[in-house]
Amino acid sequence: MLFTSYGFLLFVAILLTLYYVLPARFQWKLLLIGSYVFYAFSGPKYLLYLVAVTIIIFFAAKRIGQNLNTQKAYLKEQKDALSKEEKKNYKTAQKKIRFRYQAIAVLLCVGILAVVKYTNFFLANVNSLMAAFGSSGQFSFLSIALPMGISFYTFQALSYLFDVSRGTVKAEDNFFRLALFVGFFPQLVQGPISRYGDLSQTMYEEHPFDGANISYGLQRVLWGFFKKLVIADRMMPAVTTIISDAQTYDGAYAFFGMLFYTIELYADFTGGIDVTIGVAQMFGIRVMENFNLPYFSTSLKEYWRRWHISMCNWFRDYIFYPVSSSKAIQNLGKWARAHLGDRVGRRLPVYVSSFVVWFLTGIWHGASWNFIVWGLLNFAVLMISEEFEPLYEKFHGACAWSNGRVYHGFMVFRTFLLICVLNMFDCYASVGETLGAIGSVFSGRNWDAVASGGLLELGLSAADYAVAAAACVIVFALSLYKNKYGDPRTAITAKAYPVKAALWFSMFLAVLIFGAYGIGYDASQFIYNRF
């Protein structure tokens, strides 16, 4: 049941009606039932994965929470009887016990994710190695379908486990409350990856009917549909045509393909998150923002602070910080300072930790060398930029004109093109094909074909391009407004009723008339579904 299907709209309408008709004490329980019904539409058997992850995390976190409570009570009781060294030894022993529970849960949950998502990728690489060494034997691939959103809900569940272990949130005693946190249906498709401490603040409360929440939520959903149906799904045929035949559609076609895909990806992903946040708001639940005008970034570093914020924060908090502060990395830094100098000693732990983060970020996005290379290229650009940061500061200090609007616009444009190039690894079938497509952009091929109407042979008419361009202008203009004045919905709500009604009805008509429907409408998927 996809967000842009009629079935989803009917499902939300029924669930929302029951939510505010039933006694408020049953609201979160109804959401749990509704979330599991929603997920069952992707295949009842896939519920087993969701339930398994929830059970593992629930019992591991409960054990860790009990251990923390026992430790606290014991140290309080024995605070005068134990020496400082004895307290330290006791804490160390208890921490090891908690770590074992955490490690077992992580291995089980990540193991489930690895089996369903990476088994065939692993077998394909083993087969390639065997063939390279002259072996005629080959392993057969397994028939494993990837459960919808498994990467998202696994990471969300793990974030809860880590936070309990750190003592930042208390372990949940009610299994079903945790099950709702892990499986909350608006987030199952493509996130964001919420934290328990944030989502639980509004998820389990009793929510009286609030017309403002319904109105704001519906507006956000409509905006998401506009981006998804009018822009992303309209651009999809052209992108699909270009990347499906890289030999024919290279050069100028590859250039326009990477532009179209970057626009499609933004409209698709942010549109889906708009629907998620809007639907949650109608139920009175606050879900974090996952984007902050990422294409306005002046550097790749800034871009990753603005794009898929929940994922970036997850890798920062649960991978980068633990790795960089680990004993092994600290010892590596000490060795480097002693043998390679103070600067290298200070930077090497950052390099290693960042490498781990970006390798895992790449493989998290997909079981493909394309995504691994994509992650490592992001790592390389970020680390090179970090090293040149002192030179950038000197340049901006010496050249006053570099602090003006024109140069700022150049940096935004430059960053956008870099993102477009990196996004090409998300499109093509292999690393070689991707590099060939990138290289062909500079070859000068097919520019004459494009100039003579070649873009009209990609499955889109002139009217399609005009509609997509007009929609992009609207999105860009509202993004500029949001960047300067805040949420446009606030300004629209403040206007007279006829004006705001006309504005939102116009948006509704735009989605209805200009949305890309037709054959396969209900089957079209959000790009991040596969993650």
The helix or strand, by DSSP H or E, that contains position 188, with its residue range, turns out to be helix 185-188
Spatial distance between the Cα atoms of 500 and 492, rounded to a whole number of angstroms: 6
List phi, psi (to 5°) of 152. -70, -50
Residue with tokens 């959903």: 221
Spatial distance between the Cα atoms of 410 and 298, rounded to a whole number of angstroms: 8
Number of H helices, E strands in the chain: 24, 0
339 noted as active-site residue:
no
The tokens describing 465, both together, are 């391009």
Write the Ramachandran bin of 141: left for phi over 0, alpha for psi from -120 to 50, otherwise beta: beta
* Exposure class string for 266-288: b at 16+ Cβ within 10 A, else e: bbbbbbbbbbbbbbbbbbbbebb
Please say whether the beta carbons of 522 and 5 come within 8 A: yes
Spatial distance between the Cα atoms of 60 and 171, rounded to a whole number of angstroms: 9
Which one of 207, 339, 365, 396 is the catalytic residue? Answer: 365
Spatial distance between the Cα atoms of 295 and 282, rounded to a whole number of angstroms: 28
Write the Ramachandran bin of 191: left for phi over 0, alpha for psi from -120 to 50, otherwise beta: left
Spatial distance between the Cα atoms of 427 and 216, rounded to a whole number of angstroms: 35
Q: Which residues are catalytic?
A: 365
